[in-house]
Amino acid sequence: MPVALKKRGTNKIERVEARLNPEQKRRIEYAAKLKGRSISEFLVSSADDAAVRAIEHHEVWTLTGRDREAFVKALLRPPSPSSRMKAALRRYKRRVISS
What is the pLDDT, as a whole number, of residue 97? 81
Distances in Å between the alpha carbon of 22 and those of 16, 25, 44?
19, 5, 19
Q: Letter for the amino acid at 80?
A: S
Closest CA to 6 of 47, 36, 34: 47
Note the pTM of the prediction, 2 decimals: 0.57
What is the pLDDT, as a whole number, of residue 98? 73
pLDDT digits (tens, 9 = 90+) for 16-69: 999 999 999 999 999 999 999 999 999 999 999 999 999 999 999 889 999 999
Q: What is the rounded distance in angstroms from the CA atom of residue 21 to the CA atom of residue 25?
A: 6
